Amino acid sequence: MQQNIFNSIRSMKIMDACKGTQVHALKPSAAAAADRSSVSAADKLLHTSFDHSKTPPGRTKSVSTTASRHDAVSETLLPCGLPASELLEPSIEPSLRPLDFVETLARVHRRAESCVALEKSEVYLEQCAVLRGLPDPKLFRRGLREARRHAAEVHAKVVLASWLRYERREDELVGSNSMDCCGRNLECPKASLVPGYDHESVFDRCTCFRREIVSDCVVRSQECERECSTSSEYVDGIGDRDAEDDDVFFCIGDSEISCRRYSMAALSRPFETMLCGGFLECRREKINFSMNCVSVEAMMAVEVFSRTKRLSEFPPNVILEMLSFANKFCCEEMKHACDTHLASLVLDMDDAVLLIEYGLEETAYLLVAACLQVFLRELPGSLQRWSVMKLFCSPEGRDRLALVGHVSFVLYYFLSQVAMEEEMRSNMTVMLLERLGECAVEGWQKQLAYHQLGVVMLERKEYKDAQRWLEAAVEAGHIYSLVGVARAKYKLGHMSSAYEMINSLTENYKPVGWMYQERSLYCTGKEKMLDLLSATELDPTLSFPYKYKAVSLLEENKIGAAISEIDKIIGFKVSPDCLELRAWFLIAMKDYEGALRDVRAILTLDPNYMVFYGNMHGGHLVELLRPVAQQWSQADCWMQLYDRWSSVDDIGSLAVVHKMLENDPGKSILRFRQSLLLLRLNSQKAAMHSLRLARNHSCSAHERLVYEGWILYDTGYREEALAKAEESISIQRSFEAFFLKAYALADSSLDSESSKYVINLLEEALRCPSDGLRKGQALNNLGSVYVDCGKLDLAADCYKHALNIKHTRAHQGLARVYHLKEQHKTAYDEMTKLIAKARNNASAYEKRSEYCDRDMAKSDLILATQLDPLRTYPYRYRAAVLMDDHKEDEAIAELSRAIGFKPDLQLLHLRAAFHDSMGDYISTVRDCEAALCLDPTHAETLELCNKARERINEQK
């Protein structure tokens, strides 16, 4: 059976995946023809410049004519000229940025461990604010889950559950309802409205995995029938009541409502005093209630509730009147019942907009919570409604919410983050941040609110206000905000004051990369370049030093060196701004193919990106570049994609997929491929967007379920992802469904039985139709499972078959097999093949270092660090070697250097172990606590931390 799979793979040709597109390419579509017929003026200019066919036979174009036309093209493509170094500025992060990240992480973890249960939610929210500054969004989401898990109040549950949903951006999923839940109490809209501390059950399945969707006509007919009910229906709800028990009548106009005196008296203290106390009414059989603004229907409903404590038979308009009645006469039990029932009726935006006014007026806590929940789960769209924006943004709206108990820092933290992502400079963003500042009580809350407000004011070029808010953040303890204060002063013309402020930072605090980066703005010449060098040494992930050096080289006419400089950071940290700069350089070099590649990659990362200082949309630049770049059919694109994928050229692959999606925007498999590439480039936000588009463009139910499964898996819902895969397989057996299930199962530690099951799933996947790119990945994964099971020969077969279909990364797995077979030279050679083929090969150098002697390993790891300073293994290896050589201080320094710009779990754990071996148990505990803040379940760190604490206690 195994051999049959491999035989079928061996016979598979790359062109099989392109057959349909090849035939299609022979007969251009009407859309493509229309595209050619609507050529812009810029396109015509470019065609004219490069159309050599118009040259008369026997004649050639002069060099000067060609050069002038190249100049015309360059002018069209570079309307803003070349980039200028004096216009470059580093960005100021809008998140918290502590001077000592490790100590801050450790402190937050200690607080979470030691505080009482009801305070944990607030502590985890602070942890979220700290983790927001790290590049891994999964850490932030994990903190949000913990904050929701420990929330006790309905308000906090509603906000945090909605925020978790927003992180998945389910508003982008066509056909989804904002009140759908993913199946866990954690995000369930109904569970959020239940008060109480439920941290043990929050990850359990909810009771409403999917709310049944009832047609509008049925709902409206039912509501109409209920609203048209007569008072006789209320009598039907009374049951076998005995009219002789009624001893008081409430008169409203000509109607008399018979009631039980003691049942009515039990509704509230005012009724008890009136009916059973010293008032005249206590001796009357009839009480005139006409002046109390209550209808006959509502009074009858009040009477029924006084005896039955039920509301289900009453229409919403009557219950709203009962709510007002309960407020007026202090009927707390009835108010709570009305509040709870009305809250359960809020199912969509129209309900929420209508009912929130009643809730605010009657101070109905749960009703307002239910309406807020809809608004929050509909973000960002709900903020486009004037009434919703006014409620959240205005001081008056905040006061109204506060009266009902629905104003909090977490609410405005969530809202302001959404607004900043949508449009940082908008008035709405400013107003929400102002409300956030008003809600800030603790120090970290003030730091965050004031700092973000200051950063937004800088973006709006309101420098005096920016300085004021950033100074407030500094006063609250956020030292990083001094960068913003200095920038505001610089913009206001106080350059020397800005320099002195940042210079004092480098003198008074432990140097950090961003300090030197900022100081470089306020100096020139060698001093500027020295500061940029220091910034890069301390934090090689800062992009501004690379950008500035590259543009400076361009200004010196060293364009090749400029591209090499910007390539350094693009090699390990892909961002639209750096790609834009490289595209700019490539246009100047007349490498239009390379420039088009980079602009397409930019638009994949950010479809709305504006190039050339924000003066041109990236899509327009693609239109200008397309005529002067090579034209590919869809079949050509498939071949180009295979070539780039096999050479591990992720940016080139992105560009090809972007081109293919222009021709076929509804192709879900291309969107899925795009998401995989983006994940490899650590662009998770863009990857999830592509995955949601893949789901929306799915042409079948089983395909849609697979993409929904990947969305759930990538956002931490592994069990739900497995359920989606199984449901998809039950509809149709497919490669992607089996692959998803195998991938999700292999995510945990596998025993022998689980490994066999994963192997079977991957074998089933390989039997299903797919293209070579995906089958190569499946073979690679299958080989990894075989290695873990000790079946090295089978693993080697998998890797070799993967290599036959151009899955280049399989060289790494095959090298591992050779290494385990004690064939170290062969393993080394296998990794050398990968280095030769791969465009991005930092990981290949890192892995090859395992298969050679110490000196060669050291050389490979130096190269790996130069290519990608974010890879942590080289630092850990070098530190371990130094420890073996009894150079403890140097080993600690090696780890500390990396931790300074990347507080990584493994780096922190290793440094804690080193401190422990040196007897520095306080530092051991600090590093362990910081690591546990990143992953509280890491068993080895927990054990090390507990032992170090015991030793500290023994020394006291």
Dist. CA 419–CA 93, nearest whole Å? 16
**Domain span at 290:** 245-314
Q: What pLDDT was estimated at residue 199?
A: 82
Distance between CA atoms of residues 253 and 736, nearest Å: 70
Contact between 846 and 864 (Cβ < 8 Å): yes
Mean pLDDT (whole number) for 115-137? 93
CA distance 331 to 620: 64
**How many Cα neighbours within 13 Å face the side chain of 905?**
13
Distance CA 581, CA 150 (A): 46
What's the predicted TM-score (pTM) here? 0.86
Number of domains in the chain: 1
List the beta strands (DSSP E) in 274-315: 286-288
Task: Indicate if the pLDDT at residue 351 is higher than 80.
Answer: yes
C-beta atoms surrounding 371 within 10 Å: 29
Residue 114 lies in a domain: no
Identify residue 279 by its one-letter amino acid code.
F
Cα 772 to chain centroid, rounded: 30
ω into 195 cis (within 30 of 0)? no
| Structure token digits, residue 386 | 């004037």
Which residues have CB under 8 Å from 919's CB, separation 6+? none
- Decide if 513 contacts 542 (C-beta within 8 A): yes
Q: Confirm whether 229 is domain-assigned.
A: no
pLDDT band of 751, cuts 50, 70, 90: confident
Q: Are strands 610-611 and 286-288 parallel, antiparallel or unpaired?
A: unpaired
519-550 pLDDT, tens digit per residue, is 999 999 999 999 999 999 999 999 999 999 99
Q: 400 in a domain, yes or no?
A: no
pLDDT, tens digit (0-9, with 9 covering 90-100), for 575-600: 999 999 999 999 999 999 999 999 99
CATH number at residue 307: 3.30.710.10
Instruction: Report yes or no on 46 lying in a domain.
Output: no
- For residue 638, give Cα distances in angstroms to 230, 281, 388, 675, 918: 69, 88, 47, 17, 57
Helix 650-663 to helix 668-680 angle, to the nearest 10 degrees?
Answer: 160
> What pLDDT is recorded for position 519?
97
pLDDT at 839: 80
Quick check: 401 and 391 in contact, CB under 8 A?
A: yes
**What is the average per-residue pLDDT within 440-449?**
97
Tell me the residue type at 630.
Q
User: Taking a C-beta distance cutoff of 8 angstroms, is the pair 452, 433 a contact?
Assistant: yes
Confidence of residue 940 (pLDDT cuts 50, 70, 90): very high
- The answer to whether 909 and 886 are in contact (CB under 8 A) is no
Q: Mean pLDDT over all residues of the chain?
A: 87
CA–CA distances in Å: residue 752 to residues 72, 745, 757, 791: 67, 13, 9, 12
Residue 279 lies in a domain: yes
Residue type, 449: A
Q: Which pLDDT band holds residue 260 (cuts at 50, 70, 90)?
A: confident
Mean pLDDT of 506-514: 93
- Confirm if 775 and 756 have CB atoms less than 8 A apart: no
Coil, helix or strand for 573?
Answer: coil
Q: Is residue 263 part of a domain?
A: yes
Q: Are 659 and 632 in contact (CB under 8 A)?
A: yes
Q: Phi and psi dihedrals of 62, rounded to 5?
A: -70, 155
Q: What are phi and psi of 616, to 5 degrees?
A: -145, 135
* Residue 782 maps to a domain: no
Strand 616-617 and strand 610-611: the pairing is: antiparallel
* Highest mean predicted confidence (pLDDT) among 65-69, 298-302, 634-638, 817-821: 817-821
Listing DSSP states for 193-251 in one string gives TS-S--TTTTTSBPS-SS-----HHHHHHHHHHHHT--HHHHHHTT-S--GGG--EEEE
pLDDT at 376 over 80: yes
Helix 120-131 vs helix 101-114: crossing angle, to nearest 10: 160
Q: Are 488 and 470 in contact (CB under 8 A)?
A: yes
Which DSSP string corresponds to 520-557? GGG--HHHHHHHHHHHHHH-TT-SHHHHHHHHHHHHTT
Residue 29 pLDDT exceeds 90: no
Residue 469 corresponds to which tokens in the numbers above?
């808010």
pLDDT at 291: 77
- Residue 483's nearest CA partner among 900, 92, 901 is 92
Q: Which stretch of 35-49, 523-537, 545-559, 928-942 has the lowest confidence by average pLDDT?
A: 35-49
- What does the pLDDT read at residue 314? 87
CA 54/CA 47 separation, integer angstroms: 11
| Per-residue confidence band for 73, with pLDDT thresholds at 50, 70 and 90 | low
Neighbours of 930 (CB within 10 A): 27
**51 confidence band (pLDDT: 50, 70, 90):** very low
**What pLDDT, on the 0 to 100 scale, is given for residue 448?**
98
Distance CA 586, CA 569 (A): 16
How much is the pLDDT for 58? 36
Q: How far apart are the first and last CA of the chain?
A: 66
Q: What is the pLDDT of residue 213?
A: 33
Q: Is the pLDDT of residue 20 over 70?
A: no
Look up tokens 């795009």; give the residue: 674
Distances (CA, A) of 113 to 29, 120, 121, 123, 909: 63, 8, 12, 10, 19
pLDDT in tens, 185-201: 888 999 999 999 988 88
Residue 462 to residue 429: CA distance in whole angstroms: 14
- Note whether 732 and 700 are within 8 A (CB): yes
Q: Which residues pair with 250 in a beta bridge?
A: 257, 287
Distance between CA atoms of residues 189 and 752, nearest Å: 40
Give the Cβ contact number of residue 440 at 10 Å. Answer: 19
The number of angstroms, rounded, from the C-alpha of 731 to the middle of its chain's C-alpha atoms is: 31
Q: How far apart are CA 584 and CA 551, in angstroms?
A: 10
Express as a percent the part of the chain with pLDDT over 70: 87
Amino acid, single-letter form, for residue 889: D
pLDDT at 68: 52
Q: Cis link prior to 137 (omega < 30° from 0)? A: no
**779 pLDDT more than 60:** yes
Count of Cβ atoms closer than 10 Å to residue 835 Cβ: 17
- CB of 786 within 8 A of CB of 759? yes
In a domain, 848, yes or no: no
Q: Is the pLDDT of residue 621 over 90?
A: yes
What is the pLDDT at residue 279? 62
